[in-house]
């Protein structure tokens, strides 16, 4: 069995799903944000400025910055309702229509009479967006918070801006606890770039699609035909009973994680192919794979459900 990211037709397209511009609290104009990602070899980005009244609820039109090798997906970072710690929700919505109705969110503080995080996430998904729980470690998200948001497709498991600016980049605990309840969620790595510090070009998704086209990319994201990375490439994954085969760029470790404390690792030098017996994770209903290179950079598959 091959996960959809490695079985689907097409090729991998490198993209950033979380960026900001002068339309909210970033320091670069939208056109310059797109230019820089294009110059760095990205195939696509989603510009996701903060969807609050302070910035006039922006869904930035980046269509003029597309060309024959670079495209954009419209989106925003949504905010509405309070988490358990009293702070405002941060929800990534990629693929929003330009006429998505504003929330009642005048600024970065919760106010009475606004939608909950779960409600605005559900509304975004119903409007056609790919929805992800943004930077749960940075936000102080609780397990109860995460359980309340039932419309998400994915969890941000690495956020480069939160790594650089707060040393709180991860979402693994949130994702794994949700998986253990039976939630079938994927994962994404992002930048959350504001260009106020070195918060860019550090985390991305590799999306498998036949065309570098917004609709094709969005469909592939929703289907789970992607993996995430801060450097390494994952070229193929095959699961055959208790045996896993992984092909990748040169790595020092390939780690398989399952429910609870289940885990199994393969170590070596410049490993590009590994066969791993899954005895230590065989009772887990799902597994996910981390590929780690000699510099400590990582790539991650989406969870693979073994049914």
* Domains (range + CATH), the chain: 4-228 (3.20.20.140), 234-305 (2.60.40.10)
Per-residue pLDDT of the chain (307 residues; tens, 9 = 90+): 899 999 999 999 999 999 999 999 999 999 999 999 999 999 999 999 999 999 999 999 999 999 999 999 999 999 999 999 999 999 999 999 999 999 999 999 999 999 999 999 999 999 999 999 999 999 999 999 999 999 999 999 999 999 999 999 999 999 999 999 999 999 999 999 999 999 999 999 999 999 999 999 999 999 999 999 999 999 999 999 889 999 999 999 999 999 999 999 999 999 999 999 999 998 999 999 999 999 999 999 999 998 8
Supply the pTM of this predicted model.
0.97
Q: Are 98 and 104 in contact (CB under 8 A)?
A: no
Backbone angles phi, psi at 225, to 5 degrees: -85, 65
Number of H helices, E strands in the chain: 8, 16
Q: Which tokens is 100 given?
A: 């998505």
Q: Which of 66, 65, 48, 44 is nearest to 57 (CA)?
A: 48
Q: Which of 136, 133, 198 is nearest to 171 (CA)?
A: 136
| β-pairing verdict for 11-19 and 44-47 | parallel
User: What's the half-sphere exposure (Cβ side, CA atoms, 13 Å) at 168?
Assistant: 10
Q: Are 48 and 77 in contact (CB under 8 A)?
A: yes
State the DSSP string of 251-273.
EEEEEEE-STT-EEEEEEEEEEE
């Amino acid at each position: 069995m091959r996960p959809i990211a490695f079985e689907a037709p097409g090729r991998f397209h490198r993209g950033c799903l979380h960026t900001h511009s002068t339309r909210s609290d970033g320091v670069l104009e939208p056109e310059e944000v797109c230019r820089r990602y294009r110059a760095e070899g990205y195939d696509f980005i989603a510009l996701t400025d903060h969807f609050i009244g302070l910035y006039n609820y922006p869904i930035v039109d980046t269509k003029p910055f597309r060309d024959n090798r670079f495209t954009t997906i419209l989106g925003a970072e949504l905010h509405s309702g309070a988490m358990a710690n009293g702070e405002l929700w941060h929800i990534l919505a990629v693929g929003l229509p330009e006429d998505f109705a504003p929330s009642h969110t005048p600024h970065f503080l919760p106010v009475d009479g606004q939608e909950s995080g779960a409600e605005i996430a559900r509304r975004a998904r119903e409007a056609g967006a790919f929805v992800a729980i943004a930077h749960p470690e940075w936000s102080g998200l609780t397990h109860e918070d995460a359980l309340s948001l039932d419309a998400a497709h994915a969890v941000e498991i690495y956020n480069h801006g939160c790594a650089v600016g707060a040393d709180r980049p991860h979402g693994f605990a949130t994702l794994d606890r949700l998986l253990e309840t039976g939630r079938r969620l994927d994962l994404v790595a992002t930048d959350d770039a504001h260009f106020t510090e070195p918060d860019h070009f550090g985390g991305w998704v590799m999306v498998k699609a036949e065309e570098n086209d917004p609709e094709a990319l969005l469909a592939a994201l929703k289907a789970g035909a992607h993996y995430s990375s801060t450097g390494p490439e994952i070229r193929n994954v095959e699961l055959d009973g208790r045996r896993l085969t992984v092909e990748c760029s040169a790595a020092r470790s390939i780690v398989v994680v399952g429910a609870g404390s289940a885990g199994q690792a393969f170590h070596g030098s410049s490993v590009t192919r590994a066969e791993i017996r899954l005895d230590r994770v065989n009772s887990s209903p799902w597994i996910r794979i981390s590929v780690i290179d000699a510099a400590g950079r990582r790539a991650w598959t989406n969870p693979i459900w073994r049914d």
